[in-house]
Structures are given as C-alpha cells and as structure tokens.
Amino acid sequence: MSHTRVKTKYAEEGAYASTEHRTLYCHHNHSCDCVTFYDEKGRVESMGFCSWESGNDLWDAMNRLWFPFKDKWGEELLDGVEYWSKEDYETLR
C-alpha cells in the first residue's frame, strides 16, 4: 500500500490580530485514493476557512498539500512542503 505524507506551514489570525503559524499535515493513501488533512494535534482538520495572510492561509496550505510536487508525482516537493519526520508521525498517532 502506497502512502505519501507531507506537511507545510501556514498563517492564521491569532489573539488581538496577531499572526500565528501552524503546521498542516496531509496523508495521501494511494490504495484507496483518500486524502486526509490533520492539524498539529493530530485531529482531522475542519473545512472552515478564514482569509488572513494572502497566499499562506489554511486554504492555500491545503492546496499546496493536495498536489505537493513541482512537476510529476513523487519528484521534487513544492517550496514550503516537506515530508513528515519520524517525530511528526509519532505525535500524530
């Protein structure tokens, strides 16, 4: 069974109009063609979107992770996208 697990950082509005940076995780399960997004605590991410930092909000992060490669699948990752580390995997379990 084939899987691709990638992550990216994005910005959202914090307290008193501050900017908070979060990490969004994405699991592509190729055997069943399902994609799941997780927040930093391992919860499935909700589909509520707020525009905060142009080009780097939750919607932009999801789009980056939906197809995380510059050209062909499995080749070079987009800027700002990286594979999950062992620590990420353990945290999200």
Any idea where the domains of the chain sit in the sequence? 3-80
Each residue's pLDDT tens digit, 4-27 = 999 999 999 999 999 999 999 999
Q: What's the mean pLDDT when you consider all of the chain?
A: 90
Q: What is the pTM of this model?
A: 0.78
* pLDDT at residue 32, rounded to an integer: 84
- In a 3-state reduction of DSSP, which class is residue 58? helix
- Measure the CA–CA gap between 90 and 86, rounded to whole angstroms: 6
Q: Which two tokens stand for residue 92?
A: 């999200």
Q: Is the dihedral of CA 45, 91, 41, 59 positive or negative?
A: negative
> How far lies 76's CA from each of 3, 13, 57, 70, in Å?
16, 30, 23, 6
Pair 35, 28: CB distance under 8 Å? yes
**pLDDT at res. 93:** 72
Confidence check: pLDDT of 51 > 90 = no
Q: Which helix (H) or strand (E) holds 20?
A: strand 19-29
pLDDT band at residue 1 using 50, 70 and 90 as cut-offs: low
Q: What is the per-residue pLDDT across 28-38, written as a single tens digit (0 to 9) for each? A: 998 888 899 99
Question: Which DSSP category does 75 fall into?
Answer: S
